[in-house]
Structure 1
Amino acid sequence: MPYLTLKDKRIYYRRGGRVPAREAVVFIHGAGASSNIWLRQLSVLEEEFLALALDLPGHGQSEGEGEERVEEYAQAVLAFLDKLGLEESSLVGHSMGGAIALTLARDFPERVKKIVLAGSGAQLKVPPEVIQALCGDFREAIRVMGQYAFSLPSLNFPTGGGEAGIGKTSREVVVKDFVACDGFDIRPHLGDIRQEALVICGERDRFTPPEFSEFLHFHLPRSRLEIIKGAGHMLMIENDRAFNAALLRFLTQPVFS
């Protein structure tokens, strides 16, 4: 899989699909994760799209130290798009990745065609005890969070933990990610985001519960809401069939005529 260089750091990304393709779709993972979470989506989209999923700086196989502001991660994604010569693309973001997608849609509307916000929110406040736990027994905190990320019926999901990439990111970067989430609040600007948006979440998401997605749907002028029954925060892994069906419908059909 390929790398590119941003600010003297090697950034890893996965690529599927033909070049040229009808359009590019860029997947952005959430806090402490990596491009691994999108494996089940890349294989589905590569028939019709140029599908790309990057490891954010400091995550997965990318070099870097992470960032404490969502805006800084958004700049990294923008530089990634520039490096690949992508003038316009659709963005699919999970959790913190959704915050990054929203930021890019607001600040660089000409670069973003559509957005998909999976298990995300307009504000991502983090309880202080979560940061404290991560600064304490890191492995135990990650273990508990990893279980919490999946809905109860799927706690024994055979490969979910590995695909989520939970626990493979350094303590320092994970803490920065949660600081970035805690400082994110795009609520006053949602009405200014004019791209078509798919807001999708798991019915049993305990990190970003359905109310977060309902709020996004209510305030984003051109959005569609889908709630995946029985799924938790890692909905794209837990029920990839339902997630992929909703994703393909959204990317190939207009939400509003």
Structure 2
Amino acid sequence: MFAQDFNELGYLASQWPINPDIPTLLMVHGAGLNHSQWQKQMTGLKGHANMIAVDLPGHALSAHHDGNQSIIDYADTLSELVTELDSSQLIMAGHSMGGAVCLEFAMRHPTQVDGMILVNTGAKLRVQQDLLQQIHEDYPAFIRHLTNSALSKGTTPQVIEQFSELLMQSETEAVYNDFASCNSFDRLEDLNQIDCPALVISSDLDLMTPPKYGEFLADQLTQGQYTLIEGAAHISPMEKPEAVNHAILGFLQQFNGR
């Protein structure tokens, strides 16, 4: 993997420079997380696309980026990175909050995106006020609560530890801003503005963004496709990476050779 930086926006690339003959998959992490949540996708799909896992402003490799932290600001910041990457085929992939960023990106910068992969997300992401309050008042308790809510009971201890560690690596204020941004995000009425191929991935055990969220996305998007991952909850890229990678690979095939 190659660690890269653009205007203090850090990201990992599976290969560098990027190969112009294959699609570029720009992966956007969920609230309070970072590029490491895509580790299994970075390694599992690197031969099929230029895999790039970005850290949004205020997170991990982008901790010193002075950009504002909101869904709109994240989308606009990524637009600058996409211009720099200059890929002939760009596919945005986002998990949870990252999916919201991808939707916003596609609406604000439609000419820059050729496809989207939306994982465990929705067009509206309401967050309970007591959860937001807990981030500031008792962050360790927040981590325990989110771990119990976001992962299925069958998740391995290794993945549970990895997920908790990702949350512990994040600055409390950045985590709060992420979840507050999710709470204010609402594009329920605007999805038909997006006109690019979009794969929507839901998980059958996801209580945070249930399958009905994904089904609605796929129905409302003009070129939406839908896949359900079985045996996973909200963090399917880490819980069931092989199944998620298989779904993504099938979606990528329509871009190879364009």
Q: Which amino acid aligns with 2:97?
A: M
Deviations 1:49-97 (A, max 9, x none): 1111111111122123674420001011111112223364101100010
C-alpha distance in 1 between matches for 2:207 and 2:161: 16
Aligned 1:116-127 pairs, distance under 5 A = 116-127=117-128
Amino acid at match of 2:127: V
| Structure-2 residue corresponding to 1:241 | 242
1:160 positional shift: 4.1
Kept after mapping to 2: 8 A contact 1:67/1:177: no
**1:221, distance to aligned residue in structure 2 (A):** 1.8
Distance 1:65 1:203, change over 3 A: farther
What's the CA shift for 1:210? Answer: 1.0
Distance 2:89 2:49 in 1: 13
| Residue equivalent to 1:21 | 21
Measure how far apart 1:44 and its partner are. Answer: 2.1
Q: Distance in 1 between matches of 2:181 and 2:66?
A: 13
Q: Secondary structure at the match of 1:158?
A: helix
* Equivalence for 1:48: 48
Instruction: Say if 2:118 and 2:200, in contact at 8 Å, map to a contact too.
Output: yes
**Per-residue CA distance 1:139-175 (angstroms, 9 max, x = gap):** 1111221232111111x43134325712211110000
Q: Say yes or no: does 1:112 pair with 2:113.
A: yes
**Structure 2 match to 1:161:** 161
Alpha-carbon distance in structure 2 between the residues aligned to 1:64 and 1:171: 16
Contact 2:58 2:69 in 1 (8 A): no
Cα drift, residue 181 of structure 1: 0.5
| CA distance, structure 1, for counterparts of residue 129 and residue 163 of structure 2 | 27
Tell which deviates more after alignment, 81-90 or 178-187: 81-90
Partner Cα distance (2:206, 2:66) in 1: 28
**CA–CA distance in 2 between the matches of 1:66 and 1:125?**
23
* Contact preservation (8 Å) 1:66, 1:177: no
Q: Letter of the aligned partner of 1:167 in structure 2? A: M
Displacement of 1:131:
0.7
Aligned residue-pair number? 250
The AA in structure 2 aligned to 1:136 is: E
1:145 aligns with 2:143: no
Aligned-pair CA distance for 1:5: 3.5
TM-score by length of 2: 0.91
RMSD (CA atoms): 1.7
Asked whether the 8 Å contact 2:27–2:54 carries over to 1, the reply is yes
The match for 2:10 is 12
Separation of aligned partners in 2, 1:161 and 1:24: 30
Structure 1: 5+ residue stretches without partners: none
Give the drift of 1:48.
2.3
* 1:32 corresponds to 2:32: yes
